[in-house]
Amino acid sequence: MNSHNLGTGPLRLGETAEGSSFTSVLENRGIAPSWRVEGVSTEGIPEATTILAITWADGVLMAGDRRATAGNIIAHRRVRKVYPADEYSAVAISGTAGMAVEMIKLFQTELEHYEKIEGVRLSLEGKANYLARMVRANLTLAFQGLVVVPLFCGFDETDSTGHLYSFDVVGGRYDELSYATTGSGGSEARSFLKAAWQPNIDRNTALSIAVEALVSAAEEDSATGGPDLRRKIYPNILTVTADGVSEVSDEELSEVSARVLEGRP
């Protein structure tokens, strides 16, 4: 291996990473991902819409509808908006879909890299702070219309409690004690949760409330897609507890969605 090639380009076999920040490694090597859209129209770029998170007795539940829109057109009907960040945390995306997915992939890799280098997981608050930094780094593009606003949640092993965090477009990070929403239908979902959420609810209640909040948002916001029983399209929902991240199956969601839709006025 030639010495003048060290420190640039991808890591080579046997080469040691410079520090516990994966993003810093990429930046130091000149291969960090970047987006440039000067003079390019952002019209027609798919937007991920409504996401939410609620606390319940054993942890946190995070949910998102499956629709992405491009202007007034439905661009995709089965977009995944809620992802595991690591074993004990999850993240949901709203805003410019393609950029949001890439941000989450980099966030996942960052957490994995940190754990491998340091030998321990980054603290839950440290993860939230790092995600806030990533949102802030996107500020220039946000001013051009390419906005990414996530939600983040996790189970804190130090206090055995679920926590959730919301963010604003400039990277501000906010601890939420009960629930949080964002996206085009976020205000409608939040209004429903304000009336329906209670402390220490069980898993079944939390699941029903989350699905109905998305249905409530879909009834008022055309960019939000509610459950579609005929096409078998259901919300994307994860729970985070002391046992880790778990995805709610479509089989369970089909029953919950049918019950919620039947009970709507």
Q: Which residues are catalytic?
A: 49
Helix (H, G, I), strand (E, B) or coil at 22: helix
Is residue 184 a contact partner of residue 223, using CB atoms and an 8 Å limit? yes
Query: 25 in helix, strand or coil?
Result: helix
Report how far residue 1's alpha carbon sits from residue 234's, in angstroms, rounded to the nearest whole number.
52
> Which of helix, strand or coil describes residue 133?
helix
116 by DSSP, 3-state: which?
Answer: helix
Nearest-10 crossing angle of helices 186-196, 203-220: 140
Q: First and final CA of the chain: distance in angstroms?
A: 70
Can you spell out the DSSP letters for 165-219? Answer: EEE-TT--EEEESSEEEESTTHHHHHHHHHHH--TT--HHHHHHHHHHHHHHHHH
How far is Cα 233 from Cα 76, in angstroms, rounded to an integer? 11
